[in-house]
Structure 1
Amino acid sequence: MSAVSTLTRFYADDFVTIQYDEAHQCIVTSRHGYPSDEKIKLSLNKSLELLKLKKSRKIISDMRGIKGTWTGSNAWIAQHWMPQAIEAGLRYVAYIYPPDVFSQFALQDLIKKNDHYTLQIFKSLEEAEAWMNEVA
């Protein structure tokens, strides 16, 4: 039986909403709109804050609302953010696949740069939550 999500908002702006899901013990981020390097870095640094605060090992990254590419930020993510997130305890990331073709390309590029944590791609939040329950 799947646990019912109990989300507590940690941070929100015009680009990202970051919440903590007590039931699944994971961070849930939802991005929407067009990304900029500044927005990407701010959203990931806020996620890192929550990761440390909750000592979480899991993030669900809902990319369904994002439009456009962020490939210019991927090197920073891979070289700077990922190692810090791993040091903070991150082990599992579930990406919910974006419908925007440019965002799909950026996500695929980021995935190629990952050698730090286990990841899966899903089409829905429910699928991502189910996987998070499996990886405990």
Structure 2
Amino acid sequence: MIVVDLIRNASGELYGKISYEPQKNYLLMKWMGPCSEEEVKTASMRMYEWQKREGSKKNCKFHVHDTKELEGAWAGLVDWITNYFFPLNFEHGLRYNISIISPDMFSKFSSVELKKRSNNKVTTILCETISQAESWISKNYDV
């Protein structure tokens, strides 16, 4: 796993870590603690910058969002993600968004809502663990 970016809030606290897994060819965002909608957008756009710069060259089709340590709802961002973020990334090769769901009820609800609104460009898959996500990627790598 290669660390690509560390994202900190205005107070300097780490709330996002982006890594690339070259063996399975996916980008991982590990979300930590609470973050505002603007912070989620900022971190997400850093993923997009990587996808545009590196992901398209590597034929990276998978983004994994580990939300196990994310606190709070981000359901207000579902429209932004499906109508703005996913189409941007789709243009650079993204086809699947895999969410490792949080035990936090509000965050979990947000992941479920995102899956419901998945469009025909980027499909959202829900998993319980990273190993489950990696297994899904391995089975679907050539799709």
TM value normalised by structure 1? 0.89
Aligned pair partner of 2:72 in 52, 68, 73: 68
Corresponding letter in the other structure for 1:59: H
The whole-number CA distance in structure 1 between the counterparts of 2:97 and 2:82 is: 14
Q: Contact 1:70–1:106 at 8 Å: present in 2 too?
A: yes
Which amino acid letter does the alignment assign opposite residue 49 of structure 1? Answer: E
State whether residues 111 and 126 of structure 2, in contact with CA within 8 Å, keep that contact through their aligned partners in structure 1.
Answer: no
Superposition deviation, residue 20 in structure 1: 0.5
Cα deviation digits, residues 87-120 of structure 1 (max 9, x gap): 1111122211110001011112222221122332
1:27–1:60: 8 Å Cα contact kept in structure 2?
yes
Kindly indicate whether residue 13 of structure 2 is the aligned counterpart of residue 8 of structure 1.
Answer: no
Unaligned runs of 5+ in 2: 8-13
Task: Report the identity percentage.
Answer: 25
Give the count of matched residue pairs.
Answer: 130
Deviations 1:54-105 (A, max 9, x none): 2211111111010101122222112111110111111122211110001011
Structure 1 residue runs of 5 or longer lacking an equivalent are 1-6
TM-score computed with the length of structure 2 as normaliser: 0.85
Runs of 4+ in 1 over 3 A off after TM superposition: none
Conserved? CA contact 1:35–1:69, under 8 Å: no
Q: Secondary structure at the match of 2:91?
A: helix
- What does residue range 18-57 of structure 1 map to in structure 2 within 5 Å? 18-52=18-52, 53-55=54-56, 56-57=60-61
> Paired residue for 1:17?
17
Aligned to 1:3: none
Contact 1:29 1:62 in 2 (8 A): yes
Q: Once superposed, what is the RMSD of the aligned Cα atoms? A: 1.2
Residue pair 2:115, 2:126 contacting (<8 A) in 1 also: no
